[in-house]
A and B are shown apart, each in its own frame.
Chain A
């Protein structure tokens, strides 16, 4: 089955700890994205990558870091510098560059930091 997987589904961490969220796709898509979704708000772009070994900051990159060492993987690290890390995190991917393709989303990871 082709698709995007995110793990874990639920994650609990203590304040001050870094945590890494996994995103893997076997769709052979070039571009991958990380979004954050908070109640009452739309999806906000954290980071995106259009090609292996390259990534760009989105609108709310502060307190987050990413890597893109392999085409199929785009892990997101939520660092202790992120002031409000509790949120629902969605990973997406898209074939090729350019805006003529829709993004496909993974099932998300709900992160709770206390």
Chain B
């Protein structure tokens, strides 16, 4: 059965800390891996990763995919209170369907 597992489930840090969120997957016909940020309502898109070893970066956020070991990490450096959210990892197969992990809830305190 296809599955996507995120860890940790929950994380509490102070502003300025660096965090690493993990996403492992077992999915047939893998096509791409996506990261979303969900604050209160609509998840917003962060990254799409299709190739191993190529880091994608946006400001303080970066992500990389390892297709051999079947995982991805999302790094956030110098965290801010505005980074508090649920971070969702999803895998796209060679179909139009995404499989989501349970998410990691990040809380950043001043």
Contact = CB atoms under 8 A, between A and B. Distances in A.
Q: Do chains A and B interact in one complex?
A: yes
Interface of A: 4, 31, 35, 40-45, 48, 50, 58, 90, 94, 97-100, 102-108
B48 interface: yes
B102 A42 contact: yes
B70 interface: no
A10 to B, nearest CB: 11
A98 B50 CA distance: 13
Contact of B32 (A43, A94, A100, A106): A100
B80 to A, nearest CB: 23
A108 B40 CA distance: 10
B100 A43 contact: yes
Interface residues of B, number: 27
B96 interface: yes
Given A99-B94, A100-B32, A44 B45 contact: no
Given A40-B9, A42-B102, A45-B98, 4 more contacts: A48-B96, A99-B32, A103-B45, A108-B41
A102 B102 contact: no
Contacts of B95: 99
A50 to B, nearest CB: 6
A42 B41 contact: no
A52 B33 CA distance: 27
